[in-house]
Structure 1
Amino acid sequence: MNYRHSFHAGNSADVVKHGLLIALVRALQQKPGALTLIDTHAGCGLYDLGGDDAQRTGESAQGVVRALADPNSLLADYRAVVQAVNVGAEPHLYPGSPRILAQLLRPQDFLILNEKHPADAYTLRGVMRDTSAAVHERDAYELWLAMVPPRTARGVVVVDPPYEQLDERDRITATLAAAHRKWAHGVTVIWYPLKERATQWRWKDQLRKLGIPKLMGVEHWLYDVDQPGSYNGAGLYIVNPPYAFVQALPPLLEALRAALAPEGHRGEITADWLRE
């Protein structure tokens, strides 16, 4: 499955991913100690919702546009980061994870971004020039292992690949296992698209066998009945989610489900611990 950021900017998957990422970082920032935030597949950082790629799919209408129109206070932080890069009520630009994480930084925090694609890396450097972020152009999985443990005691690694390669999930699994051995208390967030349940079940079983004590899976299924052969939603695996985040998760998930449910569908969003 090819999931390039520019074609899907601001869709329902972005709303869930970024809504939960904001909540997770805010929960970690309840303690004053410095954080290092690492984005392994950073993309371009900022996307034109009126551009050819985004207009080809039109997915933002069922994602960010609906979230901005939803008055639920639990989505206020998400709405704020989107509105920060826009003028007026209608979203014309969508901030990717790099711009969102940059907005969340405190003076003591650090942001490390990586994008292997040369053209996207060039764009990313321009988009992030007004921030303190360090931008790398390396293989994502090599960088992931090289950067952990970070210099700060705490940190978050965000892994958000386009799933262009058939072995993407295998590389994530192997790198996560190696990274966890180096940095057992680190927080890792892995995004993935949901297409076929059988594929997801097999990968979940592989991750469960890693024996990571605190590994949570969040799954957002858009439709009441799966649409064969097409995109059905997205999820996150989160290693070592902080306690404050876990406690606040149920009402936030319900707010996201309600805001994003397609016409005629209730949808489903769940969070469960993976256990051997």
Structure 2
Amino acid sequence: MNYRHSFHAGNSADVVKHSLLITLVRALQQKPGALTLIDTHAGCGLYDLEGETAQRTGEALQGVVRALGDTNPLLDDYRAAVRTVNDAGETRLYPGSPTVLAQLLRPQDGLVLNEKHPEDVVALRQAMRGTMAAVHQRDAYELWLAMVPTKTPRGVVVVDPPYEQTDERARITATLAAAHRKWAHGVSVIWYPLKDRDTHERWKQQLRRLGIPKFLTIEHWLFDAEQPGVYNGAGLFVVNPPYAFMQALPPMLEALRAALAPDGHRGQLTAEWLEA
């Protein structure tokens, strides 16, 4: 599955991912200690929703456009992140995870971004001018292991691959296991697309065998029934989610579900512990 960011900028998966990333980082920032935020598959950082690649799919209409038209105050921080990169009254640009994370930085925090694609890393460096971000062009999984444990007492690793390679899930599983051995208290966030439940359940079984405690899985199924071969939503694995995040999660998930449910579908957005 090819999930390169530029083709899907601002879709429902981005709305969920970025809303929850904001909630997670803000929960961690309730304590004054410094944070290091690491994005292993950073993409371009900023996307033109009127560009050719985004227009080819038109997925933003069912994602960011719906969220901006919603009135639930729980999505205000997400909407503010989008509006920050746009002129008043426009929604031409969409902030990728690097831009969203950069907006959240306090003076004591750090941001490490990585993108291997040669064209995307050029765009990323341009998008990150004037920010505190350090930009790398390395293998994502090598960087993940090299950067943990973070130099600051606390940190978050965001893993958001395009799932172009057939061994992507296997590499994530192996790297997560190695990273957890080095950095057992660290927070990791792993994004994944959902197409069919059987494939996803098999991966969850492999991840359960890692024996990692405090392993949360958040799943957003757009449609009420199986849609064979069709993108059906996305989710996040979160290792070591902080208490404040867990407290904020139930109402946030319901707000996102209601805002993003396709016409004629209720959709499902749930969180549960991945127990061995």
Q: What is the TM-score normalised by the length of structure 2?
A: 0.99
What is the CA–CA distance in structure 2 between the aligned matches of 1:195 and 1:258, rounded to whole Å? 20
Report 1:180-191 matches (<5 A).
180-191=180-191
What is the CA–CA distance in structure 1 between the aligned matches of 2:47 and 2:130, rounded to whole Å? 17
Report 1:82-101 matches (<5 A).
82-101=82-101
Amino acid in the other structure paired with 1:41: H
TM-aligned CA deviation for residue 108 of structure 1: 0.2
TM-aligned CA deviation for residue 90 of structure 1: 3.2
What is the CA–CA distance in structure 2 between the aligned matches of 1:183 and 1:129, rounded to whole Å? 30
Q: Deviations over 1:92-124 (max 9, x none)?
A: 000000000000000000000000011111110
Report 1:39-118 matches (<5 A).
39-118=39-118
TM-aligned CA deviation for residue 89 of structure 1: 2.4
Name the counterpart of 1:264.
264
Amino acid in the other structure paired with 2:78: Y
Amino acid in the other structure paired with 1:252: M
**Kindly, what percent of the aligned residue pairs are identical?**
78
Name the counterpart of 1:136.
136
Report 1:154-193 matches (<5 A).
154-193=154-193
5+ residue gaps, structure 1: none
Q: Deviations over 1:117-143 (max 9, x none)?
A: 111111100110110100000000000
What is the CA–CA distance in structure 1 between the aligned matches of 2:65 and 2:272, rounded to whole Å? 28
Amino acid in the other structure paired with 1:140: A
TM-aligned CA deviation for residue 196 of structure 1: 1.1
Name the counterpart of 1:234.
234
Q: Deviations over 1:165-206 (max 9, x none)?
A: 000000000000000000000000000000111110000011
TM-aligned CA deviation for residue 156 of structure 1: 0.1
What is the CA–CA distance in structure 1 between the aligned matches of 2:165 and 2:90, rounded to whole Å? 35
Name the counterpart of 1:275.
275
Q: Deviations over 1:197-248 (max 9, x none)?
A: 1110000011111000110000000001121111000000000000000011
5+ residue gaps, structure 2: none
Matched positions, count: 276
Report 1:181-220 matches (<5 A).
181-220=181-220
What is the CA–CA distance in structure 2 between the aligned matches of 1:275 and 1:127, rounded to whole Å? 39
Report 1:242-257 matches (<5 A).
242-257=242-257
